[in-house]
Structure 1
Amino acid sequence: MTNYQGQYVFKKSDKTMLMWTEEGELSPDFTTISPPTADHEWQNNEWVLPKVVYLAQLAEAKSYLLHQLTDKADRFKAQILVGYSQAEIDSFYRQEREAREWKVNNQAKTPMLSQIVESRPEIPSLAVLVEKIIEKADTFSAVMGGIIGKKQAIETQIELAKNNEELTACEQEIEQWQLANH
């Protein structure tokens, strides 16, 4: 017979901790096992997290990881765009559209590109600028496609995760994700 007198014990019904003062065995209403969290309940001789609490915690963890993932993808995009003003960034699609239209039909109007060539004497012709813009646009699209694809793949893993271990694997993947050379 084990004597629990002087040991801290926990009431199974409400997790109250107290020092056992009686000599001998514990009452069946008590255990020496401390509850891992305030949310755990005593069931079948162990502390368990109720499913509704577990699912709420899992949903909260997923939301947090999705936010972390989005932030990381945004930081990668910001790395790629370092050195460009917001005005330049805002004009990328217009520049690309004019460049691709001119490439198909060199009679197409190119008001923005024409002004860029006129303002930059180091660019010998509109044709040179068009090639440079298309090359940069294609490179940017490929890099962003890689970022978006990786983000979406991890996002799917997070959404499908059924337990904390799977979410931990997703978290590690986010932490280890690096931007490929661009």
Structure 2
Amino acid sequence: QDLTYSWAHSVCLKLLLLFCSLSGSQQWVSNSCAETLCREGWVSFQSKCYLMSTSTVTWSKAESLCQSVRGHLLVLNSVEELDFISNVAEARYSYWIGLVEHEEGHWTWVDGTDFNTTPTYWDEGQPDDWSLRVNGEDCGQLHPSYRNQRKLWNDLEKTMWFFFAKKFSLVTLRRRQRSSTLIHSC
């Protein structure tokens, strides 16, 4: 049974909004084929499929769920991807992303991408590591920005509950569905 799709139907639809991503360095599938390869309820962008959940979990649980399908919370690589997510995500909700601060002042991406080489999209005044939080604010979140049309980053305590969305590479989906007629129809 296809791990990606069985997980999506049995778990994802019951979870908080988060962004998961699976790694895949080669682009074997064209953008024109993306709509065909993404399952119903998923949306595609730049050879990736995204699924928004309808319930909430903590940051650690969200990352754990992503890892259970060999993925991670979303690592935002471009302003185009941020704008896409901002347009498809529910405007009033916040979403966990794969940004974490294991050491104070040193943010890292969960997939190992060098944080210092990626563009940053912190909201005004963020990260602020709000001192009233007992456990600090060490996890990244996309939240509605009152000054901007797109969602921007915020730091937040990882024990809070938020929605998440999953992002899968079409390369990964293709590898998992070698015998699928969807692949051959592209």
- The TM tier, using the shorter chain, reads under 0.3
Q: Higher helix share goes to which structure? A: 1
Q: Which has the higher contact order (CA 8 A, sep 6+)?
A: 2
Q: Higher strand share goes to which structure? A: 2
TM norm structure 1? 0.24
